[in-house]
Amino acid sequence: MKTRITELLGIEHPIFQAAMSWASSNAPLVIAVSNAGGMGVLGAGPLRPADCSRLLGEIRAGTKKPFGVNIPLNGARAPELLEISLRKKIPVMVASQGGPREHLPRFRAIGAKWLQVVASVEHAKKAEAAGVDALVVDGAEAGGHPPPSNVGTIVLVRRIVRATRLPVVASGGVADGAGIAALLALGAEAVQLGTRFIATPEASVHENYKRAVLAADVHDTCLVGPPALPIRQLKNAFTQKFQAAREDEREALFKASSLKKAALEGDVEWGRVEAGQSAGLVDEILPAAEVMKRLVQEMEQARNRLASL
């Protein structure tokens, strides 16, 4: 299947493995997805610069195919991570949480494509004006940081496809090929899946985290954190305490928990088990290459089903 995104990035399938701090902050998942014809994305946000540099070397050694690097631009380490990405001549930047304008010329100079993660029409238009190559549009179902406006993927993707001329990668709430086909039908030119790829042997989170994702149903997530930058995660002891707490107690509670606690230590009761509503659609741990194979097959089945109606 050819779309403007597959052509722009030189990938076989219009499928992205979403950047996920800790879950995709290692080489094996990125390599497996890129080798299977999708776009593997390194979640560089939590990495120390030296580790990021090493992992980029490992990814280069593991795949000849294109891959991406995600850097949340508001992070304290973002300047160093950007420098390393430039030095390593990465093919694709997937930037979130900050404006692209000042960085674009240097990434253009190394031939990299720049995709900007947005969660509103306003930010989509700003990114288009700044000259990015494509948008990743996150809807409310997404794990991690969904839009504060709480607009769902179907509505937000459609709105942004109509509002800009850029190709759109739709993200949030998709765990199978039928979901991919649905978003392509809305005008997206690729679809990104995060939570689905947590349930793979390659994802670099604790087994308890993977099992919690498998056990969750579609209504088992909630939002925590500051209302301007909410986080979608699985309900657990921490979210219960956070939601029952007084407004003035919440900041301290939020800081006492972390994604790292759940992802690396396996504390899925008091850590932040970030995952999307699509956790309710994931019930099996499968190698990432097998996930990719099934996604492509299911996408074809969905297309055929529609064509036969």
- Choice from 23, 78, 156, 296 touching ligand FMN (CB under 6 A): 23
296 binds ligand FMN (CB under 6 A): no
Q: What mask, x for binding ligand FMN by CB under 6 A, covers residues 29 to 58? A: --------------x-x-------------
257 binds ligand FMN (CB under 6 A): no
Question: Considering the rule CB under 6 A, would residue 221 count as an interface residue with ligand FMN?
Answer: no
Is 115 within 8 Å of 130 (Cβ atoms)? no
What one-character DSSP code corresponds to residue 277? G
| Contacts (CB under 6 A) with ligand FMN, residues 96-135 | 96, 117
Asked if 19 interacts with ligand FMN (CB under 6 A), we say yes
Task: List, in sequence order, every beta strand (DSSP E) within the chain.
Answer: 15-17, 40-43, 67-72, 92-96, 113-118, 134-138, 168-171, 190-193, 221-224, 231-234
CA distances for 223 relative to 20, 137, 254, angstroms:
17, 19, 12
Closest CA to 265 of 253, 257, 254: 257
Task: Pick one of 5, 11, 15, 20: the residue that binds ligand FMN (CB under 6 A).
Answer: 20
Q: Which is nearer to ligand FMN, 23 or 296 (CB)?
A: 23
Q: How many CB atoms lie within 10 A of CB 45?
A: 23
Stretch that binds ligand FMN, among 103-111, 139-147, 234-242, 245-253 (CB under 6 A): 139-147
Contact assessment for residue 175 and residue 205, using Cβ atoms and an 8 Å cutoff: no
Stretch that binds ligand FMN, among 4-12, 48-56, 188-196, 237-245 (CB under 6 A): 188-196
Question: Amino acid letter at 110?
Answer: I
Distances (CA, A) of 90 to 24, 97, 141, 188, 291: 16, 19, 29, 24, 25
Closest to ligand FMN by CB, 21 or 85: 21
Task: Give the residues lining the site for ligand FMN (CB under 6 A).
Answer: 18-21, 23, 43, 45, 70, 72, 96, 117, 138, 141-144, 171-174, 192-195, 274-276, 278
